[in-house]
Structure 1
């Protein structure tokens, strides 16, 4: 647990002082909070390396910062194009978290020894191997492969499912057969196994105002963890029976780090959202992080008592549409979205007693619902240490890349 105590007046004053000469909209990362969150992830990982999920950071400078810290090793990327770019930028261990159909990217990977040594691609179907082979375009480099298998908890003969719809491979025997397909095929080397338990790592178990739902989530997750310990061990044994020199077994996410590392079969965990701590990660009992990534919008209207309007703000997060995907006003405390308008593309009305203390030109600080998606809205992040901006670094978008 972080030792940080939320100090709304102090935090708002720090951020306002740090950005007093900067016009909003703008995005910041509080480096002290970011580093404290990184320390907390390492503590929860209990000696196993944390592979940083780039999707949740989307800033090369901050990826480099966290990878310089003891306890972090490697990147879990989200597209092949991003992975090749990171590898060309000096990142030596990049695992693509999702299967790809980027034929041009595979041709580049197969033709470049340095890229082929640094990047590992994800496979859960022989058809993906066929696509890579067809895309090689004469490239002869060996492709490093990681297999993904499905961790979803199933009940009632599979009619009830908890977990994201990812790999079609769920049984150890299926996984072993897929492993044999990789090992038998020239030009590929099986190096890893990944299993992301989204229903444990990515679902909060202490949702404010929903006690019955939260208890149901805790029961589901406890059941899922017990089942997963057995099934993951079986899956790893099945793959190691085919590829005994497997380099890594990756699992988990920010919300499950301490549970995933307890499994002997797991050699590393993945995490990224826990560095920024977006608002969806307030709903966990097992850890408390410090909000590190924020964005500020300027007050441009005062329509009446108890309401101000800020410019922009329509930054919803991905996933099933709902209020939990909207950004929320964070500072000053005492503001809320107008339920009739929500977060708007060009303006966002905010209600509450704190509105009457705000003047045109003042900043309102928001938290995004998810982590790295915020960076698709801003070209740069202002890095704050205490009450000073100590650096300005580009996001992926600021470097001219929108990978997905």
Structure 2
């Protein structure tokens, strides 16, 4: 950002040229592997950016929650959505049926219990819902274990009225080491486990056209696994401190920065910025100390954060940390940071040229 431009901080500024470059490169990567790109909207939560992704060739959207999906269907014109999260409970089932009147919707399931609730709602409404079986390929979060457990789940779910199993998906989020070689091996193993699980399900007569992987750090590797048909990265539109520490991109490719102001310099080795946990989020980095990377100041560390204070430890003689100075921070994890702001300041040639609403901010239901 142009340091002479007056900004009210903290805010998130996005370099539009870098954003567009990131979108174009991931679209080209997907096309090169012959897989569909269904990007995750949870990173940016912004209809303007979703429209750029669609224009670059995305086949639809991945959303975490119904609230996100409702925004992107109604405000971005998206007509094909994957809900990569279980839909459980009567209020959500009602909203799902309503959303299905406006878009094609596929839902991920990892249990017979969740699928049974969906089945009952679909059967009562005279509808059929496409489902992905979520498969655990090593992250140990949600998902049926790759192999026989996932196969048994797919067979049980596909027999339910109003339910049709059309794919398997995984989130290989455990491929997050700082060593690219480790990321590559973990990602390829996850992709192979998912493809093998899909083959076993097909052996039982389920057609299963979709084999879907999803994670930005692994996106250079998993889609290359033969048999993968779809990829769902999200962070790539902005990248962040965790991603560039993996070694595939540099901080110059991080399109979004939290712009903050130094508001106190209580000691030579300590400065306070006006971005705390309510601007940077709370995620630590597994590969770098602190709560973000201060652009142009690699030796400075955001050592602690409270709600409205970021405690920076700069080298005592380093310029740029006087009261009133402005810094740009690449957060450790950009997704929750974006969810903390109402708008993105869109920069062209270093100056704010537009403001895009983060319309899906707070849509966690």
TM > 0.5 between the two? yes
Q: Work out whether residues 307 and 356 of structure 1, in 8 Å CA contact, stay in contact via their aligned partners in 2.
A: no
Cα distance per residue 1:279-301 (max 9 Å; x no partner): 00122244557011111112222
Structure 1 CA distance for aligned equivalents of residues 184 and 38 of structure 2: 23
Structure 2 CA distance for aligned equivalents of residues 229 and 321 of structure 1: 25
For the structure 1 residues 169 and 229, does the alpha-carbon distance in structure 2 shift closer, same or farther, using more than 3 Å as the test? closer
Q: Work out whether residues 297 and 313 of structure 1, in 8 Å CA contact, stay in contact via their aligned partners in 2.
A: no
Structure 1 CA distance for aligned equivalents of residues 282 and 297 of structure 2: 26
Higher share of residues assigned helix: 1
Pair 1:260 & 2:222 matched: yes
1:155-166 correspondence to structure 2 within 5 Å: 163-166=139-142
1:395 to 350, 358, 361: 358
Q: Work out whether residues 70 and 99 of structure 2, in 8 Å CA contact, stay in contact via their aligned partners in 1.
A: no
Q: Work out whether residues 84 and 109 of structure 1, in 8 Å CA contact, stay in contact via their aligned partners in 2.
A: no
Pair 1:188 & 2:163 matched: yes
1:264-279 correspondence to structure 2 within 5 Å: 264-279=226-241
Q: How many residues align?
A: 359
2:130 to 134, 139, 144: 144
Structure 1 unaligned blocks of 5 or more: 1-13, 153-162, 207-217
For the structure 1 residues 170 and 320, does the alpha-carbon distance in structure 2 shift closer, same or farther, using more than 3 Å as the test? farther
1:4-403 correspondence to structure 2 within 5 Å: 14-17=1-4, 20-45=5-30, 46=32, 47-70=34-57, 72-89=58-75, 90-111=77-98, 113-115=100-102, 117-134=103-120, 138-152=124-138, 163-171=139-147, 173-200=148-175, 202-205=176-179, 218=181, 222=185, 224=186, 227-228=189-190, 230-242=192-204, 244-288=206-250, 290-314=253-277, 315=279, 317=281, 326-333=290-297, 336-337=300-301, 339=303, 342-350=304-312, 351-353=314-316, 356-396=319-359, 401-403=362-364
Q: Work out whether residues 83 and 119 of structure 1, in 8 Å CA contact, stay in contact via their aligned partners in 2.
A: no
Q: Work out whether residues 12 and 258 of structure 2, in 8 Å CA contact, stay in contact via their aligned partners in 1.
A: yes
Q: Work out whether residues 122 and 163 of structure 2, in 8 Å CA contact, stay in contact via their aligned partners in 1.
A: no
Quote how far apart the aligned CAs of 1:147 are. Answer: 0.9
SS of residue matched to 2:38: strand
Q: What TM-score, normalized to structure 2?
A: 0.86
Q: Work out whether residues 299 and 315 of structure 2, in 8 Å CA contact, stay in contact via their aligned partners in 1.
A: yes
Structure 1 CA distance for aligned equivalents of residues 179 and 10 of structure 2: 33
Q: What TM-score, normalized to structure 1?
A: 0.79
For the structure 1 residues 320 and 177, does the alpha-carbon distance in structure 2 shift closer, same or farther, using more than 3 Å as the test? farther
Structure 1 CA distance for aligned equivalents of residues 217 and 183 of structure 2: 14
Q: Work out whether residues 132 and 168 of structure 2, in 8 Å CA contact, stay in contact via their aligned partners in 1.
A: yes
Structure 2 CA distance for aligned equivalents of residues 396 and 324 of structure 1: 31
